[in-house]
């Protein structure tokens, strides 16, 4: 590496850099801003319709409905699936709290299941918790990697369960050539600014092939009102995707395929630079049945071998919303990176189910507990330069040398 950590005072590698991303597409964003405001297209106009159509096409579903947030998508999908009092919904123990909050606020009871080495729900443990009350399973495609949907679909069909996909971190990821958000009754999306497709504020969507789910979401987001007839069909909410945000997202969606390729290239660069460090586990996963046998992807790999998807299991194409590494020296590494001008991130140091106020059952989830102690996310964004990635790698290697 040419970069040395002695240059740390001049180096600031940000986790994400929204301002720099804006500069990359400034002319397109500015043109859309002027166009929408000059027309007065503020609520449910053609920009929202265009984005919904293009999002559905990208995901591979018949419908998309723009909403106010990823949480709104999860809540409305739960309602559309018929989740209510007395119903149980299976969710992973390792996820953002909004996943379980949506189930609770729909009236259901979340039943937690531990995750596997790829941070996604352990499909081998799902059937252990299915009861006559189980209504749905809610897999979360975390960090830009999909769950094993072959196993989940088989379980859901066997037990007559709805599938609601929390795909908020995995837009563009696929399993066996089928994209996230197209397997279940509904796919749920977040366009929070730091997501792989982020707006300039909050935003979300549902994708679905079910016309009734699309209808429910379209009505619920507008206080339950059919805008054309004025008739009310639900006690809904105000959770509509802002028309201006939809216009911005439509611009960014056109760039998303190239941005995904760039993320995969960065993941390959991290892998090439970090492979072989015994204390690290990298997010390039073997087939699920081989998991649980120790660190993954620790064999040498050439600099030229950087073709996607950077996964040992070729059923998956990962998009790397986050590049998450694991080490038992996590906290010390985190501090060292910060001291050397690198901005890492640690998600969920404490599992959400350990907060007593949430009133969730902790049945013991050892993999989730270990993940919360060990994971750290490295800077991953399309704004980052190859030199900055090399600098992050140098810092990590220097840390472990010490």
pTM as predicted: 0.90
Distance of CA 146 to the CA centre of its chain: 9
pLDDT in tens, 160-214: 999 999 999 999 999 999 999 999 999 999 999 999 999 999 999 999 999 999 9
For residues 100-106, average pLDDT: 98
Please tell me whether residue 110 adopts helix, strand or coil conformation.
strand
Which one-letter DSSP state was computed for residue 345?
B
pLDDT at 248 over 90: yes
pLDDT in tens, 112-155: 999 999 999 999 999 999 999 999 999 999 999 999 999 999 99
pLDDT for position 8: 53
Q: Which residues pair with 346 in a beta bridge?
A: none
pLDDT for position 228: 86
pLDDT range class, residue 305, cuts 50, 70, 90:
very low
pLDDT at 306 over 80: no
Across the chain, mean pLDDT equals: 91
pLDDT in tens, 334-391: 999 999 999 999 999 999 999 999 999 999 999 999 999 999 999 999 999 999 999 9
**158 touches 165 (CB < 8 A):** no
pLDDT for position 219: 96
**178 touches 149 (CB < 8 A):** yes
pLDDT range class, residue 301, cuts 50, 70, 90:
very low
pLDDT at 293 over 90: no
Which parts of 25-125 fold into alpha helices (H)? 26-39, 46-59, 70-80, 98-105
pLDDT for position 232: 93
**Which tokens belong to 392?**
């992050």
Q: Name which of 354, 360, 317 is nearest 91 in CA terms.
A: 360
pLDDT range class, residue 292, cuts 50, 70, 90:
very low
246 to each of 20, 29, 114, 182, 398, how far by Cα in Å?
Answer: 20, 11, 35, 21, 44
Q: Which fold has domain 5-19+255-401?
A: 3.90.1150
Residues 6 or more apart whose CB falls under 8 angstroms from that of 145 comprise 118, 119, 120, 170, 173, 283, 285, 311, 316, 318, 319
316 to each of 114, 179, 232, 328, how far by Cα in Å?
Answer: 21, 10, 43, 27
Q: Which CATH architecture has domain 23-113+120-252?
A: 3-Layer(aba) Sandwich (3.40)
Which parts of 40-179 fold into alpha helices (H)? 46-59, 70-80, 98-105, 149-159
Domain map (residue ranges) of the chain: 5-19+255-401, 23-113+120-252
For residues 52-72, average pLDDT: 98
pLDDT for position 64: 98
pLDDT for position 340: 96
For residues 320-343, average pLDDT: 97
pLDDT range class, residue 71, cuts 50, 70, 90:
very high
pLDDT for position 4: 52
For residues 249-265, average pLDDT: 97
pLDDT for position 9: 52
pLDDT for position 288: 41
């Amino acid at each position: 590496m040419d970069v040395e950590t002695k240059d740390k005072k001049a180096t600031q590698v940000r986790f994400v850099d929204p301002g720099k991303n804006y500069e990359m597409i400034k002319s397109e964003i500015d043109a859309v801003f002027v166009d929408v405001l000059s027309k007065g297209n503020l609520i449910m106009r053609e920009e929202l319709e265009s984005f919904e159509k293009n999002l559905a096409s990208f995901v591979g579903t018949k419908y998309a409905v723009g909403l106010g947030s990823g949480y709104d998508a999860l809540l409305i999908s739960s309602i559309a699936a018929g989740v209510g009092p007395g119903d149980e919904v299976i969710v992973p123990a390792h996820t953002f709290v909004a996943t379980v909050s949506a189930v609770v606020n729909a009236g259901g009871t979340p039943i937690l299941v531990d995750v596997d080495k790829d941070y996604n729900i352990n499909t081998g443990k799902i059937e252990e918790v299915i009861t006559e009350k189980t209504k749905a399973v809610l897999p979360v495609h975390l960090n830009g990697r999909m769950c094993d949907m072959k196993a989940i679909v088989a379980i859901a069909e066997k037990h007559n369960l709805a599938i609601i996909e929390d795909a908020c971190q995995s837009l563009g990821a696929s399993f066996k050539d089928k994209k996230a958000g197209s397997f279940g009754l509904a796919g749920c999306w977040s366009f929070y600014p730091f997501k792989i497709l982020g707006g300039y504020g909050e935003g979300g969507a549902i994708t679905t092939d079910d016309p009734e789910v699309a209808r429910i979401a379209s009505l619920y987001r507008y206080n339950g009102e059919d805008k054309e007839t004025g008739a009310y069909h639900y006690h809904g909410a105000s959770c509509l995707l802002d028309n201006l945000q939809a216009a911005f997202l439509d611009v960014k969606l056109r760039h998303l395929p190239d941005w995904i390729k760039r993320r995969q290239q960065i993941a390959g660069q991290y892998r090439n630079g970090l492979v072989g460090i015994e204390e690290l586990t990298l997010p390039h996963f073997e087939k699920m049945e081989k998991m649980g046998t120790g660190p993954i992807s620790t064999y040498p790999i050439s600099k030229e071998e950087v073709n996607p998807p950077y996964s040992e299991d070729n059923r998956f194409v990962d998009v790397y919303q986050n590049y998450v590494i694991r080490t038992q020296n996590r906290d010390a590494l985190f501090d060292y990176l910060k001291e050397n001008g690198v901005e890492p991130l640690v998600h969920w140091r404490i599992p959400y189910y350990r907060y007593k106020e949430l009133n969730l059952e902790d049945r013991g989830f050892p993999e989730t507990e270990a993940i919360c102690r060990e994971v750290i996310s490295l800077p991953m964004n399309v704004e980052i330069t190859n030199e900055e990635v090399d600098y992050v790698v140098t810092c990590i290697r220097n840390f472990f040398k010490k």
